[in-house]
Amino acid sequence: MRGHTGLTKGLAIVGTVLIWIPILAPILFTLLYLLTHGVFRFDYLMPAELALLVVVGGALLFWAAQRAGSQRWLIGAGLGVAAAGLVLSQALAVVSGLASGEREATGFWFVLVLSLLILYILAVIVTGVGGLVLVRELYRPVQPLNHPA
């Protein structure tokens, strides 16, 4: 049970909460706007706009995973794919002219940029699931070893 200290548990909880905020915030705001104004508006770019929370939460979560010796691969891979997806989508938007408005937001380049953004969002969700699994493992009661008498 190495690494199951209060610090590790705290890192895992805070990291998991920070990871999920960029995913859940646009859903919550969409529901609130729909209930108050009767219009469906979904900000699909918000997870990318809140990437700083993913970076901070991901760092805390990876630190907790390292300390606990669990979920390192899932959390690390999720963060790596998320970083690659976000950086590539932004770079492609700039290079293709979508970011400046030079190119209209339609066609192949737009679909490719959105596909990379979707990859980022899915990777953040995978990282968040890894965080939930880690927290569950950290709070699982310790089972005593049964030795025959």
The pTM for the full model equals 0.89
If one counts every other C-beta atom within 10 angstroms of the C-beta of residue 42, the result is 13
Q: Look up tokens 């805070």; give the residue.
A: 14
For residue range 57-110, list pLDDT tens digits in order. 999 999 999 999 999 999 999 999 999 999 999 999 999 999 998 989 899 999
**CA-closest candidate to residue 125, choices 69, 78, 90, 65:** 78
Q: Give the span between the Cα atoms of 146 and 115, in whole angstroms.
A: 51
Beta strands in 3-119, from DSSP E residues, in sequence order: none
pLDDT surpasses 70 at 2: no
Q: Give the span between the Cα atoms of 62 and 85, in whole angstroms.
A: 19
Q: Give the span between the Cα atoms of 77 and 30, in whole angstroms.
A: 29
Q: Look up tokens 């529901």; give the residue.
A: 31
Calculate mean pLDDT across residues 118-130: 98
Torsion (CA) 52, 56, 59, 63 in degrees, nearest 10:
-170
